[in-house]
Amino acid sequence: MYQTTIKKAVELVGIGLHKGSPVRLRLEPLEKNSGIIFYRSDVDVSIALTPANVVDTKMATVIGKDNYVISTIEHLLSAVYAYGIDNLRVIVDADEVPVMDGSSASYCMLLDEAGIKELDAPKKIMRIKKEIMVQEGDKYVKLSPSPDLRYGFTIKFAHPVINKQEYVLNFTKENYKNEIARARTFGFLHEVQYLRSKGLALGGSLDNAIVLDDKKVLNPEGLRFTDEFVRHKILDAIGDMSLIGMNFIGNYEAMAGSHDLNHKLTLALLKDAENYEVIELVGEKTAELEKAYA
């Protein structure tokens, strides 16, 4: 199994969630062993996708360098990671990635348009060797050894539409596209009003998020899945875990996880080399993994 990039450059324009302004996004191929590199064309700054470059995790995963940032990267990265893409240049002309419809479906379509290209280098993958958990109160995120890749998530909200939701994704690219990619981000009306008073979420609307008042979903079309909320949390987690720099084999589990806890989990994982091993995928052993990203 070999490292991959995209076959051709592709681009789109969408609205930034916080500024509410149009953002041009362009994806370009990169050579082997390059990793994922973000580039802000408006200020000529490149930012490598590493945990060390994460500068904020309160409302989204934000990377930065030299006082320049790129926000809300997790939905795009979720699709990139699910497609098993190892090397990619992500170009934006503003300080955030466009939110599109609040899911990663648009990015999946963009990657389908770009196509996947194999490179002349074996794919590297991380195998989780020990259990690693980050816990704050009754909230936690955890990685544990497993022969395959699974994401399990539980959320609890004191809201009649959400309540308690649980979901487990047995990862394959097709399962991701069918079960996770269309799940939208969500928020509560009072939170949106507060954020806008602070000059944030100016691009947020019923076109790119599920919005709830105290009793119901305000979007006229309703939900795409009855448990769309927890599915989106898995979408976010997949994007956040891409910060480790490669796909991994193991079991991810979360109870009320967040961008912040996911970031702390990546730091805890990488802090001790005894937690994992990096293997190059060569030979017949890769057959199952190749099917997962087919």
Task: Work out the angle at residue 82's Cα, subtended by the Cα atoms of residues 270 and 185, and round it to the nearest 5 degrees.
Answer: 95
Phi/psi at 247 (5° precision) = -70, 155
259 an active-site residue? yes
Closest CA to 59 of 245, 243, 186, 170: 186
Radius of gyration of the chain (CA): 18
CA distance 70 to 93: 10
Sign of CA dihedral 172, 9, 41, 38: positive
CA distance 83 to 91: 19
Instruction: Write the CA distances from 182 to 72, 206, 227, 247, integer angstroms.
Output: 17, 15, 12, 21
Count the alpha carbons within 13 Å of 6 in the hemisphere toward its beta carbon. Answer: 25
Annotated active-site residue in 18, 232, 259, 263: 259
CA distance 122 to 36: 16
Coil, strand or helix at 193: helix
Q: Burial, 127: exposed, middle or buried (Cβ in 10 Å; 0-12, 13-18, 19+)?
A: middle
Contacts for 168 with CB less than 8 Å, ≥ 6 apart? 150, 151, 152, 153
The secondary element (H helix, E strand) that includes residue 266 is helix 259-271
- Which residues are catalytic, by number? 259
